[in-house]
Structure 1
Amino acid sequence: MRLLVISQYFWPENFRINDLVEGLLERSHEVTVLTGLPNYPSGKLSPGFGFGGPYKGRFGGAQVIRVPLVPRGNGRAIRLVLNYFSFALTASLLGGWRCKGPYDAILVFEPSPVTVGIPARVISRLKGAPILFWVQDLWPESLSATGAVKSPRALNAVAGLVRWIYRGCAKVLVQSEAFVQPLLDLGVDADKIRYFPNSAEAIYQAPPARQAWTAPALPTGFRIMFAGNIGAAQSIETMLAAAEILRSHPDIHWIVVGDGRLATWLKEEVARRGLGAHIHLVGHFPLAAMPEWFAQADLMFASLRRDPVFALTIPSKIQSYLACAKPIVAALDGEGARVVNLSGAGVAVPAEDARGLAEAVLKIYKMDSSGRKVLGDNGRKYYEKHFDREKLLDKLDEWLSEVKKK
């Protein structure tokens, strides 16, 4: 099939859509990706990119078409609004012209922002191609949960936009089964909704290879690793408080691999609280390096803020942790906690429960290596049953065939 993938984020930015495109190419689909200039998470255009382009490129066998946007900068509200709507505008105006059709279907990847659906609907109308819309974040719920938008009038306006986007989709794919009811509440037909959880990139499922980069020296002892975005949704405060509680265990170390809006704040807080010997911020690394980082960890960590909307989601890092056969400790509610507990891969405590998190860490810390291996193996088995990449690609192929433009 000839597919158009629309995503505000794409390689060299590290998002699940990169691997999904690779999977579609492996299955002999012809793929074009419409995306923006890469600027996540730093807020600055990635090396090799500028407002002069390049606006065309390749990603494996896929053609990549880029449009200009306003970089997200420091991540403050006004810059994010400009970032979101500049992509929606330029992709709507230029996308249909730059992406030479026809296409059998359009696949949209939607972490925040939902505004990626605007160019999808415009191009769908121009090309006559059906849309499959993959929902990673619920809008407008995510806006209110993070405190980004508090005005009821603004939230209602966003809800109206979301209804309009969903109304134009042939299928709406959800990364969590708990997303189904909110979509039904917005008027999405039940027969349009399909459960399509995140998988993990294939590199997580093989022994890690040594990378060319030189890893920072990590402290010896028991290493708890957090990997990914450092933002408001992640409730990094919970980790800080748990580290303070465990201060009397000098061999317990928290390793943070990632970047984001709150990275500078986190660095300052670690210094202010005198936690420099316990929390180690190593920065952002490419996806290819992550399995090697994970291999150095004794325990993987995930957290989210306490909010009903975050209780509905499964953080995509959970699938990566499971795929690597690593034990997991998590401070989150709802679906994410259910997966951690049901898999037998570790312990989930309520969101923002720092004392519970500290106790869960101690429980796994006191296990011998064979006990921790059992947890990791349990997680790997659960991953293979519920999140296996090839099984999920089989489902996507089936849905694409169902909606294929006649």
Structure 2
Amino acid sequence: MKHAYPVSEDSQLPGGAGKGLRVLVVSQHFWPENFRINEVVDSLRSEGCDVEVLSGQPNYPHGKVFRGYSAWGLRTEYHPSGYLIHRVPLAPRRGGGGFWRVWNYLSFVVFGAILGPYLTRGRRYDIVFVYAISPILQGLVGAVFRQIKGAAHIIWVQDLWPESLEETGFIKNRLALAAVARLTTFIYRRADLLLAQSRGFIGKIRAVAGDNIPILYHPNPGDRPLGRGDLNESPRLILPAGFNVVFAGNLGTAQALDTVLDAAGLVQDPDIRLVLVGSGSRSGWLGQQIEMRRLSNVVLAGRFPPEAMPSILAQASALLVTLNRSAALSLTIPSKIPTYLSAGRPILACLDGEAAELVQDAKAGLAVPAGDPIKLAQAIVQLKNMSEEERETMGDAGRQYFNAHLAPAPLARELIEHFRSAVIRRKTPAIATPRD
């Protein structure tokens, strides 16, 4: 087991809004896996926070533990930027089947709660910050640290439970769903502050958490603003000539990929191409469907490292985001939308609710209802037939919206203010705090 804390050249933190704050980020997934929390940690450190991370063994998205790591390893390591990452054992996802996914989730909760305090023994934190992508069970780890370390416990809710389980069909039994709802209530009520990645989440969270825990809106930030001048000298993917609609990200069950393929089958313009960049549980299915349907206008480009994505997005004629039609997903803002906005390319959004409204409010592209391949195909052709100037205007409007509302640095400073408020609430719980 690697467990040493040498003095790093990076140990002298810069000044900033977070100076003096000691933060432990709890996230089952973290670098070298590609998740939004990676950039959030960088932004917090840029603002002066002393950040450490508690995570599992990297194995996402393919379910195989990354080279240099062991599924049952217990270690503390330094990130290349100089901060500590504490890693607990984790059952890999393997093929992503139901049993292995559940064991993957539970193993992080169990080992994080039992072995996480051992890895961080003797270390003090002001904040335990849980990045709560599914499952919300990660909040149990934060609750343990709140009790042991006396730190303020903040959960950043990225997905609604039990709604997401029900609507994806992962759990159908009503008694099981009721049990998950009670567990979610238990987790929420052991936080000092709940942050919602979408305004639409707040009412749903309050119905579960009750009135005594403050709930605030805090969106996912995007990457740094990109422009056409940001192309790498040697891009890892060069898009061919034509009108390239790029979908970038997870190729999973929630992404309505059947709608994308149906729309591609309706598009007759030979100049239009749909390029799917990423991987996920439906990658194999996509390859089979593209071949079976003979869709020559759909390209499975594969997965690329984060540093390659700016050049790929900058080459796109338009950027595509899709979700299934469901009540829970209509409240969600996919984390790719801020990144798309920062890229300055027009957006095609085939989804419902708050995310569609965001694209429309930003005047950053076209939005059509979730699960409607006919309207998606029409929107693709409509965007292609616009003038280059009209599309550039959409892209510029998206980047301006990003800079005003979703840029990483100001959101990091806002998050730090939430941290400080939670610390005060933890020390003096009788002080009233805003509810939304």
2: CA distance, partners of 1:211 / 1:176: 37
What is the Cα deviation at residue 47 of structure 1? Answer: 2.4
- Aligned residue for 2:409? 390
Q: Distance in 2 between matches of 1:21 and 1:257?
A: 25
Per the alignment, residue 43 of structure 1 pairs with 63
| Separation of aligned partners in 2, 1:20 and 1:350 | 31
Shift in Å, 1:217: 4.7
Deviates more, 1:230-239 or 1:389-398: 389-398
Q: 1:289 aligns with which of 308, 311, 317?
A: 308
Q: Deviations over 1:352-402 (max 9, x none)?
A: 000000111111100121111001011111112221222211211111111
Counterpart selection for 2:48 from 28, 37, 42: 28
1:9 aligns with 29
Q: How many residues are matched?
A: 403
Structure 2 residue 421 is matched with structure 1 residue 402: yes
Deviation at 1:191, TM superposition (A): 5.8
Cα pair distance change 1:389/1:332, threshold 3 Å: same
**Cα distance change on mapping 1:149 and 1:191 into 2, 3 Å:** closer
What is the aligned counterpart of 2:162 among 119, 140, 144? 140
After TM superposition, give the deviation of residue 203 of structure 1 in Å.
6.5
SS at match of 2:137: helix
Gaps of 5+ in 2: 1-20, 428-436
How far 1:204 moved relative to its partner?
A: 4.3
1:216 is displaced (CA, Å) by 4.2
For residues 343 and 138 of structure 1, do their structure 2 counterparts lie closer, same or farther at Cα, with a shift above 3 Å needed? same
Spell out the pairing of 1:172-211 with structure 2 (5 A cutoff).
172-189=194-211, 192-202=214-224, 204=226, 207-210=229-232
Equivalent pair of 1:114/1:139 in contact (CA under 8 Å): yes
- CA deviation vs aligned residue, 1:262-314 (integer Å, no higher than 9, x gap): 11111111011001x21111111111111111011000000000000000000
Which residue matches 1:97?
Answer: 118
Unaligned segments of structure 1, at least 5 residues? none
TM-superposed CA distance for 1:167, in Å, is 0.4
**SS in structure 1 of the partner of residue 275 of structure 2:** strand
Matching of residues 325-336 of structure 1 within 5 Å: 325-336=344-355
1:242 pairs with 2:263: yes
* Aligned match of 2:15: none
Q: Which residue of 1 aligns with 2:14?
A: none
Instruction: Answer yes or no: is 1:118 the counterpart of 2:137.
Output: no
Residue matched to 1:152? 174
Q: 2:374 aligns with which of 355, 361, 364?
A: 355
CA distance in 2, matches of 1:117, 1:232: 24
CA distance in 1, matches of 2:223, 2:134: 21
SS in 1 for 2:200: helix
The counterpart of 1:165, out of the listed 180, 184, 187, is: 187
Verify: 1:260 aligned to 2:280, yes or no: yes
Once residues 344 and 208 of structure 1 are traced to their aligned partners in structure 2, the CA distance between those partners, rounded to angstroms, is: 23
Q: Which whole-Å CA distance do the structure 1 matches of 2:396 and 2:145 have between them?
A: 45
CA deviations 1:58-93 (Å, max 9, x no partner) are 221320000111111111111110100011011011
State the Cα deviation string for residues 182-206 of structure 1 (Å, max 9, x = none): 0111133376101100111226478
Tell me how far apart the structure 2 counterparts of residues 205 and 152 of structure 1 sit (CA, whole Å): 49
Write out aligned runs for 1:313-328 (5 A): 313-328=332-347
* CA distance 1:209–1:297, shift in 2 (3 Å): closer
Find the counterpart in structure 2 of residue 61 from structure 1: 82
Distance 1:102 1:140 in 2: 33
SS at match of 1:186: helix
What is the TM-score when the length of structure 1 is the normalising length? 0.96
Are the aligned partners of 2:324 and 2:371 in contact in 1 as well (CA < 8 Å)? yes
Q: How far apart are 1:52 and its partner, in Å?
A: 5.8
Residue 401 and residue 375 in structure 1: after superposition, are their counterparts in 2 closer, same or farther (change >3 A)? same
Q: 1: distance between equivalents of 2:403 and 2:347? A: 16
Q: Which deviations, in whole Å up to 9, do the C-alpha atoms of 1:15-48 show, x marking residues without a partner?
A: 1110111111112211110000011111111222
Tell me if the contact between 1:6 and 1:107 (Cα under 8 Å) persists in the aligned partners: yes
C-alpha displacement of 1:249: 1.2
Within 5 Å, which residues of 2 pair with 1:358-369?
358-369=377-388
1:231 paired residue among 233, 247, 252: 252
Q: 1:191 to 1:70 in 2, by over 3 A?
A: closer
SS in 1 for 2:230: coil
Cα distance, 1:403 vs. partner?
2.0
State the distance in 1 between where 2:240 and 2:166 align.
39
**RMSD over equivalenced CA pairs, Å:** 1.6
Instruction: Give the distance between the partners of 1:384 and 1:391, measured in 2 at CA.
Output: 9
